[in-house]
Amino acid sequence: MTEQHLINAFGGESQAHMRYLHFGNQAEKEKYYNVARLFRAIAHAEYVHAGDHHRELRHLDGGFVANSMAAFGPGDSLKNLKLAIDGETYEIEEMYPAYIEVANSREKKEHKEALNGHMPVKKCINNFLKGH
C-alpha cells in the first residue's frame, strides 16, 4: 500500500500546485499582492513535492489512479486561504502521518524518508498561511 500512498501523495501535491497558482491569480485580482506571492511560492513547493514523489515511483510500470482527497472550491482570497490552511492541516495531522505509519510497518525506508522529508516544509507552509 505504500506505493499507492505515494501515488496519492503525488496526485494531491500536483493538484495543490495548480490550486495554489489559481489562488494566487485570485488574490492578485483582489489586489492582495503579498497573498498572491505567498500562494505562488507555495505552489512551487508543491511542485517540488510532487516531483519528489514522482521520482520515488519511477520504477513502476503501468497506469495508476491517484486518490488525492484534494479540497476544491474556488472562491475569494479569504475562502482560498481557509481551504489552503485546512488542506495543509489535513496533510500534517492525518494524511502524511498515516502514510508514514504504514511505511514504518512495512519497513519501506525509502518511502518513509520521501514522506517524512516533506513534513517540516508542510508545517512551515501552514504557519505562513496562518500568518505566524
- Enter the pTM of the model: 0.80
What are the pLDDT tens digits along the chain (132 aa)?
A: 478 888 888 888 899 999 999 999 999 999 999 999 999 999 999 999 888 888 888 888 877 777 776 666 779 999 999 999 998 898 889 888 887 888 778 766 666 666 667 777 778 888 888 886
pLDDT of residue 108: 64
Length of the chain: 132
CB neighbour burial string for 1-25, b if at least 16 within 10 angstroms, e if fewer: ebeebbbbbbbbbbbbbebbbebbe
- Farthest CA pair distance, the chain: 49
Q: Report the Cα 54 to chain-centroid distance in Å.
A: 13
Helix (H) / strand (E) containing 131: none
Nearest to 47 by CA among 92, 23, 13, 21: 13
